[in-house]
Amino acid sequence: MNVENLFVNGGSQASVAEIVARCLENSTEQPDWELPSSYSPLLVGDPKRKVAISPETDGWTAIVESKEVVDFGMAKLLADELGGTAVVVQVSDAIGAMGKLIYRHGGIVACAFDENAPDPLNNGRAVLRKESIPFDLLMFREAVQMVGDGWMVKQRP
Amino acid sequence: MKAGFHRLRLLWLALLGLGWTTTLSFGAVVVQSSTIDAVTNGYDMAGAFNQSYDETPRPVWNENQPEMADEGTFFGSTAQFNAAKTTPPTVDRIRQVAQQGYDYAVQNPRVPGLNRMELGKDAEIQATRWTRRWAERYGVDLGPGGLQFQVRGANSVPDMVYNPATQTFDFKLTPKAFKPAQHRNFQSDFPGYGIDYIYGP
């Protein structure tokens, strides 16, 4: 499994969706976070870019890009505007790596990228458990299948 | 002289056999890290690449395999040779197509400027698509009774599962990405299934 997921708290699904829509319309400024970023090659110029947004669950909302990478600018904007926390989890079984970043109140609380993660998928899940995030790591196609359960999909206009 | 030549030839074939294996075998897999480095550092040189990430991948499997020149050496009759040539076990064909696709995809990413993590993912996506299209074209069943992609177990998600042969496959950019914990999770999530790792070139 090779995915990057974003989770935020502090806002409703509607408020998250409004900010996501703005990020899809206008490119975000990328913060200098010490995780590998694929925003420039994969997201910035993608006319088909889509973002799946979960219903709010226990205060948390999951955000899954169609390319399954995270827009760090969007993550920062969501946390700043909602006054909450953004959690980024990167899992790459292809290279055996796991990355995590927790951003809260304008600052990075935790950031690590381990290219020798002993079990990337379950190491990533452990981050979610530690932060009490009630979601699993998801692929975009799995998120889209849950549209009937309250998930929504925003597309670049 | 002739017997010596034959022994030499058998030795050479045995060596080739080792080189082709994709099953987890530390002794048999050779990592050409220089190739990976060249690929991961050389995206910007691929100036002609301006493909959409979602663009239909180009087929890479060879549908016109050359004839074996000396099949009579290994097969008792032409019929035997033709049967062996055209009906290898489906699981072997899947493995071969996936390996060819992954090798090609690692060396030809659809987008320039990918980091290693994204290169691994892009190659997995491309190889998966090619394998799926190959399966559709050659009548390999897809779904729970056949070939499946990204199958969720309790603690693992192998990239491909071929149920009729109880075989799982997982793409790895290099053998360094092999993780014993993940291997154990594959074993417990898919008991009785074989596990093949398909490594990049």
How many independent structural domains does chain A possess?
Answer: 1
Predicted confidence (pLDDT) per residue in A89-148, tens digit: 999 999 999 999 999 999 999 999 999 999 999 999 999 999 999 999 999 999 999 999
B35 located within any domain: no
Minimum-distance CB partner of A42 among B111, B181, B185:
B111
B118 closest CB neighbour out of A38, A46, A139 = A38
Q: Are A125 and A136 in contact (CB under 8 A)?
A: yes
How many Å apart are CA B29 and CA A68, to the nearest integer? 30
- What is the percent of chain B with per-residue pLDDT over 70, rounded to a whole number? 56
Query: Taking CB atoms and an 8 Å limit, are B181 and A36 in contact across chains?
Result: no
Residue A77 binned pLDDT confidence (cut-offs 50, 70, 90): very high
| pLDDT tops 80 at residue A157 | yes
How many beta carbons lie within 10 A of that of residue B139, not counting itself?
8
Q: Give the per-residue pLDDT at A28.
A: 87
Question: Is B171 part of any domain?
Answer: yes
User: What is the layout of strands, in order, in the sheet containing A97-104?
Assistant: A107-114, A97-104, A85-92, A2-9, A60-65, A50-53, A152-155
Name the strand (E) or helix (H) holding A28. none
Q: Do B121 and A139 touch (CB under 8 A)?
A: no
- Among A4-18, A116-130, B110-124, B158-172, name the one with the lowest average pLDDT: B110-124
Domain of residue B89, residue span: 75-201
Q: Which of A1, A3, A66, A122 to mutate to test the interface with B (most CBs of B within 10 A)?
A: A1
For residue A7, what are the domain limits? 2-155
Decide if B55 is inside a domain: no
Of the candidates A42, A93, A95, which has its C-beta nearest B182's C-beta? A93
Q: What is the pLDDT of residue A39?
A: 81
Is the predicted pLDDT of residue A36 greater than 80, yes or no? yes
User: What is the average per-residue pLDDT within B147-154?
Assistant: 96
Q: Give the residue from chain B lying closest to A95, CA to CA.
A: B177
Least confident window among A38-52, B37-51, B129-143, B171-185: B37-51
Q: What is the pLDDT of residue B78?
A: 54
Position B73 scores a pLDDT of 39
Q: Identify all chain A residues contacting B177, using CB atoms and an 8 Å cutoff.
A: 93-96
DSSP state of A148: G
**Chain A partners within 8 Å of B150 (Cβ):** 1, 139
* Domain total in chain B: 1
Kindly provide the ipTM of the predicted complex, given to two decimals. 0.89
Helix H or strand E segment including A123: helix A120-130
Query: What average pLDDT does chain B have?
Result: 71
Question: Highest mean pLDDT: which of B37-51, B81-95, B163-177?
Answer: B163-177
Chain B residues inside the 8 Å CB shell of A139: 150
Contact (CB<8Å) B174/A36 = no
Residue B163 has pLDDT above 90, yes or no: yes
The answer to whether residue B188 sits within a structural domain is: yes
